[in-house]
Amino acid sequence: MFQTAAKTFSVSAATASSYRRVFSVGLRRYCKKTSTKLRVSEALSGAQLGAAVKVQGWVRSVRPQKNNIFLHVNDGSSLQSLQIVADAKLNDPLLTFGSAVEVSGILKKSLHQKQPVELEAEQIRVVGECNPVNFPFKIKERHSLEYIRQLPHLRCRTNAFSSLLRIRSEATAAIHSYFKNNGFVQIHTPIITSNDCEGAGELFQLEPSGPAFVDEDNFFSVPAFLTVSGQLHLEVMSGAFSRVYTFGPTFRAENSQSRRHLAEFFMVEAEISFTESLEDLTKVMEDVFRSATERVLARCAEDVDLFHRHVTPGHRDTVEAMLNKSFPVISYTEAIDILHRSSEKFTFPTDWGCDLMTEHEKYLVKHCGNVPVFVTDYPYDLKPFYARDNQDQPKHTAAAVDLLVPGVGELCGGSLREERLNLLMARLKRVGLEDTYNWYLDLRRFGSVPHGGFGLGFERYLQCVLGVDNIKDVIPFPRFSHSCLL
């Protein structure tokens, strides 16, 4: 006789026995202790030592012997792989370099000094096959960044690029943490915009496709573009928040395949209200650089060391010097004097009023001790309409500042913003943009305050810290002229 919540019913002895067996098996299966699933980084830290665990990842090496087979498995959580020791009978022809596996067994202390723990496998399941002959990365070869760049769909499988992606993730978190801890409000500025912040005209214009839009002039009724900067939208927000920032993709239609340029890249931008001093901006620039770098070095030590040892030997000393020394400040006029006094032969002119080119920026950094250097007060005509007029004579300058760093040149660019309505109106009128930016003038008409801000190129920051020469090697999927793979 069996009783349920609804009713009691009678069954034969044989049927009752059958029910008991089913319930018993189900109970045993439910109560059986299952393996704890661990990331490789957790296993390497000694978590769950002596316990039954399960690890999933990709095989980095296979070493079969007479009685045992040794694997190294990595799941992207750590530069180091976890050693798997298994009985030779668990070997499988599909167990190859690059294959995806799931391994269950007992996590134990290793007898070898090179690894603290190892997993004694009880079961190995090949989840995804990989033919090592056709796989473009070979087990004992060290592939150059140039080579792996040609395989954007596979390069995350390499040590160098997986390290880069972990560093990039940690640097992103560090930057957000800095701004959060210092009272900044994050603003999600739009990717689609109707304005050209920089005024350079290097924009990607958006047009809808498909038969429904054949006769449409503009989807948005006005020309729309991919953003080159979130600055103007941050200025809108700085009329209600004293500290704001954004961190997102920006786009430049530069027809360049150089080591410095991308068509899509990430920018960190901040705006500070109630400030009339460039020092307020340079302090935030320097602080965010230092705090992010210190956190990356502390939390991604092995990954950063891979670059400093194998990609850019000796660069660690440069990074430590940047953190241990103060950032000098020079004016644009002083910078031009330094360039004139130099014995270096520059390709581009160095007359007062000329823009500083990469060769000039790198020279100035070396001249100042190979540490980041602030250059302030650029010629007024070199800067966009929103840069604050210093109203100085005879050399007319704007309250603008760039941060130049070793190996890269310009990392940050910023300025105090022109908050004086009459001066801003006059400049917009001169360049024929008074009607286009009437909304921007409204920001000065209604409760305007002195303010300023800056933008930091995130990929250039990573180049600076890691010493990577080509900007295409520090972004997951580089886009540049004549190249949009994937």
Q: To the nearest whole percent, how much of the chain has pLDDT over 70?
A: 91
**pLDDT tens readout for residues 109-147:** 988 777 889 999 999 999 999 999 999 999 888 889 999
**pLDDT tens readout for residues 8-56:** 445 555 555 555 544 444 444 454 557 789 999 999 998 889 999 999 9
- Contact yes or no for 95/129 (Cβ under 8 A): no
Among 83, 112, 128, the domain boundary falls at 128
Is residue 257 scored above 80 in pLDDT? no
End-to-end CA gap in the chain: 65
Q: 320 and 232: one domain?
A: yes
What is the arithmetic mean of pLDDT over 201-211? 82
In angstroms, the CA 321 to CA 371 distance is 7
> For the chain, how long is the longest CA-to-CA vector?
109
- Please count the other Cβ atoms lying within 10 Å of the Cβ belonging to residue 24: 10
Residue 300 DSSP code: S
What is the arithmetic mean of pLDDT over 283-287? 98
Does residue 8 sit within a domain? no
Q: Looking at residue 356, which CATH number applies to its domain?
A: 3.30.930.10
**pLDDT tens readout for residues 59-86:** 999 999 989 999 999 999 999 999 999 9
Does residue 246 sit within a domain? yes
SS3 316: helix
- What pLDDT score does 24 carry? 45
> Per this entry, what is the length of the chain?
486
Q: 57 and 203: one domain?
A: no
Which domain, by its residues, includes 212?
Answer: 156-473
Q: 274 and 405: one domain?
A: yes
Q: How many domains does the chain have?
A: 2
- What pLDDT score does 29 carry? 45
Q: 54 and 183: one domain?
A: no
Q: 309 and 216: one domain?
A: yes
Residue 396 DSSP code: -
Tokens 């901006």 -> residue? 281
- Please count the other Cβ atoms lying within 10 Å of the Cβ belonging to residue 288: 23
Q: 78 and 202: one domain?
A: no
- Please count the other Cβ atoms lying within 10 Å of the Cβ belonging to residue 148: 19
- What pLDDT score does 202 carry? 84
For 312, the enclosing helix (H) or strand (E) is none
Q: 333 and 449: one domain?
A: yes
In angstroms, the CA 169 to CA 157 distance is 16
Q: 259 and 371: one domain?
A: yes
Q: Looking at residue 114, which CATH number applies to its domain?
A: 2.40.50.140
The overall pTM is greater than 0.85: yes
Does residue 143 sit within a domain? no
- What pLDDT score does 198 carry? 57
Is residue 5 scored above 50 in pLDDT? no
- Contact yes or no for 41/48 (Cβ under 8 A): no
Contacts of residue 348, Cβ cutoff 8 Å, sequence gap at least 6? 354, 357, 359, 360
- What pLDDT score does 269 carry? 98
**pLDDT tens readout for residues 378-420:** 999 999 999 999 999 889 999 999 999 999 999 999 999 999 9
Q: What is the mean pLDDT of the chain?
A: 90
Does residue 16 sit within a domain? no
Contacts of residue 288, Cβ cutoff 8 Å, sequence gap at least 6? 175, 178, 179, 268, 270, 456
Both tokens of 439, joined, read 């909304």
Determine the residue type at 327. Answer: F
Both tokens of 471, joined, read 């900007």
Residue ranges in 184-277 assigned as alpha helix (H): 231-237
In angstroms, the CA 421 to CA 401 distance is 22
Residue ranges in 276-345 assigned as alpha helix (H): 278-299, 301-306, 315-324, 332-341
113, with CB counted inside 10 A (0-12, 13-18, 19+), is exposed
